[in-house]
Chains A and B, each alone.
Chain A
Amino acid sequence: MIFSSLTFLFAYLPLTLAVYFLAPLRWRNLVLLLVSLFFYGWGEPVYIVIMFASILIDYIHGLLVEKYRENDKKARWFVAQSVIFNLLLLGFFKYWDFLAANLSLLPGVQIPQFGIPLPIGISFFTFQTMSYTIDVYRRDAPVQRNIVDFGAFVTMFPQLIAGPIVKYKTVAEDLNHRVNTTEDFALGARRFCVGLAKKVLLANSIGALWDAQLASQSVGELTVIGGWLGLFAFGFQIYFDFSGYSDMAIGLGQIFGFRFNENFDYPYLSASVTEFWRRWHMSLTSWFREYLYIPLGGNRGGTVKTLRNILIVWFCTGFWHGASWNFILWGLYFAGWLILEKYVLRGVLEKTPAWVKHFYTIIVVFVGWGIFAMEDLSVCGAYLANCFGGAPLWSALDGYRLRSYAVTFLALILASTTLGKTVWYRLPEKLRNVLTPVLMALSLVVCTAYLVDGSYNPFLYFRF
């Protein structure tokens, strides 16, 4: 099930809220576990089994790590087991076919491919459960002795299928001692409405333009302007889709009494690629920093080791987004820019005017989206070549599309800045109190209209 669907909004969510808030406090984790399993099973009935296996194995490993805490060797071994289990799970479902296909290219190697559909959200929940055993081992989080509470953490539907990646230690306290207040509910509902509008009205809307540009490319009619229009369309689509989804997740979490960390911080305002990655999908970058980059030695082992670590982390970051070469290339592309900024450009950027830095960052990032969006590297290469002059400058069709999407683009650009937020908090509180329900109603009503019409409403993370 996805949040931006009629069945979620007008059947699953009201019923879930009713059951959850009618249940006595001590039953609420059980309710959360059950409704989350239903949520997951709705789209993937068979894969509920994976959920059960994941809960059981990580739960037991947490207990084992705690039990053998005095025997570090054994405790480490159990951490390793848990990590290996999760990576195998991810490896089998997500990467097997990719590895098999590529290894089979070697002479004499023949590995069968299974073509199994990817369980939705597997990249998110395996990372979350991995963090649990590691945190228990590092004493960053207490062990969870109640399997229902642990199951509620693993399956928690607000963040189950598209993040943010919630570390166990972030919600450990809330899991057993949360307080549900109406203020949290109201704030959460408000946040949810913002996210819904971002996803349905902004992301879906501009996503259709990207698809149109890609289609133009395939019939050889893409122009330079059209190419960039497409890159911007996709870059805005993925940002508003993803951050909209995160807003909905954070809002729903708050409704149920959980505080998740923020996942996006106006990434398109960044003045360098390094800054972009501090503001984009923060739960993923911080996960890799904490559980991969720093354990590898971070930047404390000299230049060669630092370079190695950066490359490893960004290879993994890219590969995490999908089992395909373009994602690996996308990760390494950013590794390249980050290394360049760290060792070469730092001094230069310091002396560069702000607008140039913003321009440079936007170009690097949106070209990156081109690599991200086009799995077929030959298509990707041809598309980017068009963008950089390998095509006529523009066509009448571009003019038509630009006119059709001008208002949408304007909304996207404004929504990418802090302008809305600044203006909002300048308004007198009374006015804000009147406007809040009006805007929430507007978001719900207009989004419902778009969803009923059966408009374009893709789920972009089926490869994650």
Chain B
Amino acid sequence: MTKAYSRFLTAFFCVFLGGLLVWHVLLPDREKSETENRTLAQAPEFSWTALVDGSYTKKVETYFADQFPLRDSWTGLKARAEQLIGKSEFNGVYLCGDTLISKVETPAEGMVNKNLSYVDRLAGKTDANVVLGLIPSAAEVWKEKLPAGAESWDQTELLAQSSVDFQSTLSAHADEPIFYRTDHHWTTLGAFYGANALLEVLGKETLKENNFAPEAASDNFNGTLYSQSGIHWLEPDTMEFWVAEQGLTVTSWRTGMEEPASLYDRTYLEKKDKYSSFLGGNQPLCVIKNENVTDGSKLLLVRDSYSDALAPFLAQRFSEVHLLDLRYYRAPVSAYAAENGIGDIAVVYSVQNFISDVNLVLLTQ
């Protein structure tokens, strides 16, 4: 090795390591990552106690990784490299052609039966009619799209417990875009089919597709699976709003206080988290009133985020649809139903959330 060549390699090595360090130091820290849809770790505060118990150095490591220059490009590069060597699973997400499908992990033992029993106990505590609706995940409905032999927890047995047969309804339309390709939620079309399955069980007249005029809300939606997988090269999803806002009054209780809201919060369409434009995303309690339905029927949806897209359809057949999220709403559900004169309670969860949620125990209060 000549001296000049040694110097070149040495300089190259040092510039790569040192250059990224300088870049990291000069780069202003970001509050959150739009791509990953999460807040990023900030520089930790030093304290001797934190140093001694080792938590300080751990926080520095997290901070250093979270604020690393070009973070999104690195994660994208890793996904590309993995694809190149023949992988089809990316951080728990399967790449199936142009579609991302989330792998469903085997639930903790006893979890499923526990959550099912909580729903039963709610039925025993209230005079309202209680139905359970379990929404199969894309990994179940689009099973044949998964890479051959790829594992995902078998949902069939659990879905048989659901009083609303979302599974058959969605499977019948499996060749349509009923789930987003880059997000784990169902699309507005999927929610429409789901709404009819639920309305049928509740004895209501089903909805007709041609009564709606879909509005293209966004053609640039990169969902949660886009973030989780690091696969950034797929065509973004399009998002539609079907139900018109006229005649519907939406009220939110985000901070414990009643405040007017809207069926669609269009400010989210400018952000990464576009799915939250349905009803403005997660909140403890939300009520949609339809002045055109005058029979006074009231439906309580105990729900996860899948219901954000579902509720606008249900509001077509009920005077009031109440959406209650157990992750944020802590008062007893049966009491809420009694106080508000609720006739039907639908516990509607996606399978993925139902088998992992620890808040369903609140149903038994």
Contact = CB atoms under 8 A, between A and B. Distances in A.
A392 interface: no
Interface string B1-35: 10101111110111011101100100000000000
22 contacts: A5-B61, A6-B61, A10-B20, A13-B17, A14-B21, A43-B54, A182-B10, A185-B6, A186-B5, A186-B10, A187-B1, A187-B6, A404-B86, A407-B85, A436-B9, A437-B12, A445-B77, A446-B81, A449-B74, A449-B78, A452-B78, A453-B74
> Which of A15, A190, A400, A406 has the most CB atoms of chain B within a 10 A radius of its CB?
A400
Nearest to B54: A45
Interface in B67-113: 68, 71, 74-75, 77-79, 81, 85-89, 91, 106
A289 B86 CA distance: 44
Interface of B: 1, 3, 5-10, 12-14, 16-18, 20-21, 24, 51-52, 54, 57, 60-61, 64-65, 68, 71, 74-75, 77-79, 81, 85-89, 91, 106, 147-151, 230
Nearest to A398: B149
Q: Is the interface of A mostly helix, strand, loop or mixed?
A: helix
Contacts of B9: 185-186, 189-190, 436-437, 440
Question: Nearest 7 CB-CB pairs, A to B?
Answer: A400-B149, A396-B149, A452-B74, A186-B9, A189-B13, A186-B6, A449-B77
Given A190-B9, A404-B86, A452-B74, A399 B149 contact: yes
A9 interface: yes
Contacts of B89: 404
Contacts of A192: 13
Nearest to B151: A397
Contacts of B151: 397, 400
Contact of B6 (A183, A398, A405, A444): A183
A42 interface: yes
Interface in A337-382: none
A43 B57 contact: yes
A411 B86 CA distance: 12
Contacts of B77: 445-446, 449
Interface residues of A, number: 57
A441 interface: yes
Nearest to B8: A437
Contact of B13 (A6, A440, A448): A440
Interface string A420-464: 000000000000010011001100111011111111000000000
A7 interface: yes
Interface of A: 5-7, 9-11, 13-15, 17-18, 42-46, 181-183, 185-187, 189-190, 192-193, 219, 395-401, 403-408, 411, 433, 436-437, 440-441, 444-446, 448-455
B13 A404 contact: no
A453 B77 CA distance: 9
A448 B7 CA distance: 23
A308 B6 CA distance: 51
B148 A396 contact: yes
B149 A14 contact: no
B86 A454 contact: no
Contacts of B57: 42-43, 45
Nearest to B74: A452
A10 B12 contact: no
Contacts of A403: 86, 147, 149
Given A14-B14, A186-B9, A446-B78, 9 more contacts: A10-B21, A10-B24, A189-B13, A395-B149, A397-B151, A407-B86, A433-B5, A446-B77, A449-B75
Contacts of B91: 453
Contacts, number: 134
A5 B60 CA distance: 12
Given A6-B68, A45-B57, A453-B230, A399 B85 contact: no
Nearest to A181: B6
A44 B68 CA distance: 24
Contacts of A397: 149-151
Given A7-B60, A406-B86, A408-B85, A399 B17 contact: no
Nearest to A436: B9
A404 B95 CA distance: 12
B312 to A, nearest CB: 37
A413 to B, nearest CB: 14
Given A10-B21, A433-B5, A450-B78, A404 B16 contact: no
> Which of B17, B64, B86, B106 has the most CB atoms of chain A within a 10 A radius of its CB?
B17
B331 to A, nearest CB: 38
A445 B230 CA distance: 16
A14 B18 contact: yes
Nearest to B65: A6
Contacts of A436: 9
Given A183-B1, A404-B89, A437-B8, A449 B81 contact: yes
Contacts of A186: 1, 5-10, 13
Contacts of B68: 6, 10, 452
Contacts of B1: 183, 186-187
A259 B77 CA distance: 36
Nearest to B90: A453
A403 to B, nearest CB: 7
B75 A453 contact: yes
Nearest to B48: A45
Contacts of A445: 77
A18 B18 contact: yes
Nearest to B87: A404
A400 B24 CA distance: 39
Nearest to B20: A10
A452 B40 CA distance: 13
A136 to B, nearest CB: 35
B21 A15 contact: yes
B35 to A, nearest CB: 12
A68 to B, nearest CB: 40
A46 B52 contact: yes
Nearest to B70: A452
A43 B51 CA distance: 10
Contacts of B8: 186, 437
Nearest to A13: B17
A7 B61 contact: yes
A363 B244 CA distance: 68
Given A186-B5, A398-B149, A448-B74, A45 B52 contact: yes
A152 to B, nearest CB: 22
B191 to A, nearest CB: 31
A15 B75 CA distance: 25
Contacts of A450: 78, 81
A214 B194 CA distance: 38
A399 B149 CA distance: 7
